[in-house]
Structure 1
Amino acid sequence: MPRIPAVAPQDASLLVKVGYKIAGRRFGVVPEPFTVLAHHPKLFLASARHELAVEKATRVVPSSLIQLAVYRTAWTVGCSWCVDFGAMLQRLDGLDVERLREIGDFETSDAFTDAERDVLRYADAMTSTPMTVTDDQVAALVRTYGDAGVVELTYQIALENQRARMNHALGIVDQGFSSGDSCRVPWAVEAIQEA
C-alpha cells in the first residue's frame, strides 16, 4: 500500500477520471502512480502530457535499448513498480524478458550484447550518486547513436530516475504487470517490509 492513498475514481476530478479511463484501456488497469499523483490534478495532467510527448519524441535510439536502460535504472533505484511495468512493456514489444533475471550480472551474462552493456553502464553512471559519467563514455555513445541519440538516451534515463525515485519514496510497489517474480527488486521488497 502506498504511503499516500490512491484517489478512487469516484473522488477524482473529471480530468483525472478521463485519464484513468484512457490508462485503463491502454494497460488493462490504472497504474497506481497515476492514482497517487491524482491528489494533484495539475501535476497529473502535466505528467500525462509529458509522458506522451516523450514517448512520441523518442525515435533515435532503438526502443529496446531505451527500455533496457530505463529498466536498469529502475532496478538500480529499487523501484519495484517501475521494474514490473518496464518488464511488461518489454514483453508487449516482443523482447526477451527472461534475460532480465540476469540484469544484475549484465557485465558477464551472455544474455546481453556489447551495445547493450554500453547503454547499461551509462544508465548506471547516470544513476549513481554522485554521477560517474565520463567524457569517453559519452563520446563512445555519440559515435554509435549521434548527438541526438545520446541526448535521447540521457533524457530517458534521467526521467526514469525521477519516476523511480518518486514511486519508491511514496511506497508504490509492483502491481502485477509482469508475469512471475523475475522482476522483483530484492532490496526494495526488504525496505518496504521494514518500513
Structure 2
Amino acid sequence: MPRIPALNPKDAGPIIKIGYRMARKQVGEVPEPFAVLAHHRKLFVASARHELALQKAMHAMPQGLFELAVYRTAWTVGCSWCVDFGAMLQRLEGLDVDRLKAIAEFETSPQFSDAEREVIRYADAMTQTPMTVTDEQVAALVQTYGHEGVLELTYQISHENQRARMNHALGITDQGFSSGDQCRVPWSVDPVSESATTAP
C-alpha cells in the first residue's frame, strides 16, 4: 500500500472521475500514481496535461532509445512501478523486453547496441548525485541526434527522475502492467465498514 492511499472514485469530483476513465481506457487500469495524485486536483490536472503534451512533443529522438534511458533511470532510482510501466511501454512498441533482465550488465551484454549503451550511460550520469555528465558526452550525443534529440533525451531522463523519486518516496509499487495483468488500484478502506471498495 502506498504511504498516501489512492483516492477512491466515490470520493472524487467529476474531473478526477473522467481522468480515471480515460486512464483505464488507455492503459487497461487506473495507474496508482495517478490515483494518489488525485488528492490534489490541480496537480492531478497539471500532471495529466504535461504527460499528454510531452508525448506529442517527442519527434527527434528514436522512441526505443529514450524509453530505454527512462527505464534505466527508473531501475537506478528503484521505482518498481516505473520499471513495470516502462517495460509495458517497450512491449507495446514491439521492442525486446527480455533483454531488460540484463540491464545491470548493459556494458558487456550483447543484447545492447553501442547506441543504447551511450544513452544508458547518459541516463546514469544524469541520475547520479551529484551528476557526472561531461561536455564530451553531450557533444557526442548532439553529433548523432542533434540539439532537439539531446534536449528530448535530457528532458525525458530528468522527468523520469521526478516521477520515479516521487513514486518511490510515496511507496507506490509495481501494478502488473508489464505482464499485461494489471492490478486494480486498492482503493482506500472505508473506516466505517472496513471493506475495500472498487472502481466503477
Give the TM-score of the pair, scaled to structure 2: 0.89
2:105 matched to 1:130?
Answer: no
Q: Classify the secondary structure of the residue corresponding to 1:29.
A: coil
| Residue in structure 1 matched with residue 173 of structure 2 by the alignment | 173
| Residue in structure 2 matched with residue 15 of structure 1 by the alignment | 15
List gaps (5 residues or longer) in structure 1: 181-195
Give the TM-score of the pair, scaled to structure 1: 0.91
Alignment map for 1:113-152 (pairs within 5 Å): 113-152=113-152
| Residue in structure 1 matched with residue 31 of structure 2 by the alignment | 31
Q: Classify the secondary structure of the residue corresponding to 1:33.
A: helix
| Residue in structure 2 matched with residue 92 of structure 1 by the alignment | 92
| Residue in structure 1 matched with residue 163 of structure 2 by the alignment | 163
List gaps (5 residues or longer) in structure 2: 181-200
Residue 13 of structure 1 and its aligned partner are, at CA, apart by 1.3
Larger Rg: 2
Q: Classify the secondary structure of the residue corresponding to 1:67.
A: helix
Q: Provide the rounded CA distance (Å) in 2 between the counterparts of 1:146 and 1:68.
A: 19
How big is each residue's C-alpha offset from its partner over 1:51-107, in whole Å with a ceiling of 9 and x where there is no partner? 000011011010000100000000000000000000001001110000000001100
How big is each residue's C-alpha offset from its partner over 1:31-55, in whole Å with a ceiling of 9 and x where there is no partner? 0000000000000000000000001
Q: Provide the rounded CA distance (Å) in 2 between the counterparts of 1:79 and 1:104.
A: 15
| Residue in structure 1 matched with residue 50 of structure 2 by the alignment | 50
Q: Provide the rounded CA distance (Å) in 2 between the counterparts of 1:147 and 1:178.
A: 32
Q: Which has the higher helix share?
A: 1
Residue 179 of structure 1 and its aligned partner are, at CA, apart by 2.0
Q: Provide the rounded CA distance (Å) in 2 between the counterparts of 1:114 and 1:13.
A: 49
| Residue in structure 2 matched with residue 69 of structure 1 by the alignment | 69
Q: Classify the secondary structure of the residue corresponding to 2:17.
A: helix
Question: What letter matches 1:165 in structure 2?
Answer: R
State the identity as a percent. 73
Question: What letter matches 1:140 in structure 2?
Answer: A
| Residue in structure 1 matched with residue 101 of structure 2 by the alignment | 101
| Residue in structure 1 matched with residue 191 of structure 2 by the alignment | none
Q: Provide the rounded CA distance (Å) in 1 between the counterparts of 2:12 and 2:86.
A: 26
Number of corresponding residues: 180
Q: Provide the rounded CA distance (Å) in 1 between the counterparts of 2:10 and 2:66.
A: 36
Question: What letter matches 2:113 in structure 1?
Answer: T
Q: Provide the rounded CA distance (Å) in 1 between the counterparts of 2:170 and 2:95.
A: 29
Q: Provide the rounded CA distance (Å) in 2 between the counterparts of 1:13 and 1:123.
A: 38
| Residue in structure 2 matched with residue 82 of structure 1 by the alignment | 82
